[in-house]
Structure 1
Amino acid sequence: MKKILILDRDGVINEDSDAFVKNADEWIPLPGSIEAMARLYQAGWILAIATNQSGLARGKFTQQDLDDQHEKLLRLLHAAGGDVHHIAWCPHGPDDDCECRKPRPGLLHQISLALNLNLEGALMVGDALRDLQAGQAVGCKAVLVRTGKGEKTLAAGEGLDDVLVVDNLAQLAEMLLTEASH
């Protein structure tokens, strides 16, 4: 299996909010997520983020606000000894009919091009069905976390065939690193 991990952001790495995560102060990492990413990075995993950010199109926050959130993520990750190879985001709203808004696979195509990688067999980690569908469209294996909207997605039960379910990113990292050591 290729060691490529594509992560949704809100609800997987950081706390999600129905009112949108609008600035760096509201960007709060979920317990263990930064450390999990750092450990995977140190173990040779390629890490990328694919995130819908319709708050941009809706005027809830600016591009600078989003950049500040990603700067905070990277600052915390670097302090923990990790990094992210690429962050792809969709700035469009649900009615814009773009190719990059998940469940469409445009963000994954951006990651593939930016990193010159075939994503077949990579892991796509999300808390919503649309995250998993975007990954599956390019041949990724789907992983659902129970954090964020994960429990709600699990309760809906649709489209979850062949999906690995984990409590959170920390549990997934532990599984992947334990697997690698055997």
Structure 2
Amino acid sequence: MKRLLAALVAALVTAVAAVAAAGPALAADPWPRIPCTSGTVDATVTEEKEGDVLALTGQLDCADPKAAASFGYAVYESVFSNGLLYASHFRPYAPVGSTPFHEAKRVPDGAVDLAVCVVTDYDARVACVRAVWDHLAAAVVVRPLPTDDPLVDRVVQVVAADWKPRPVCGTCW
């Protein structure tokens, strides 16, 4: 009887362990990355008929010969939120040398106060800028921002390409 009970307990423990180990399926990481932590960014704001446009131009000091990895632009709108990077806005690295980039998007209307960082990983900000509405100048002013500033010193959240509702924001960073 003790052997039967021991066998049943062993079978039960094995079954529970197998179910617990299986767990829910983990989603694949949507962001293929390479180590890249240096580069530069210059930012300008231009006034156009449809509103102000923030343009980022610069380079990353790395490349991806396999053409598999990507970088992007994370936007931070408050000190309480993660940076948002839309998966549809991933950009490829150059195959050799440094990777030049240029991205221009409309700045949201209203009280502008946001930061945009060129990011190469969930916690790797290469360069950042902050765009704010300057009431005295009556214009959006953009300035460099340290990558460890409290506004941007948070993890990046990737927003999946199939994010709802559709269409995905075409002017979002």
TM-score (norm 2): 0.27
Structure with greater strand share of residues: 2
The structure whose Rg is larger is: 2
TM-score (norm 1): 0.27
Structure with greater helix share of residues: 1
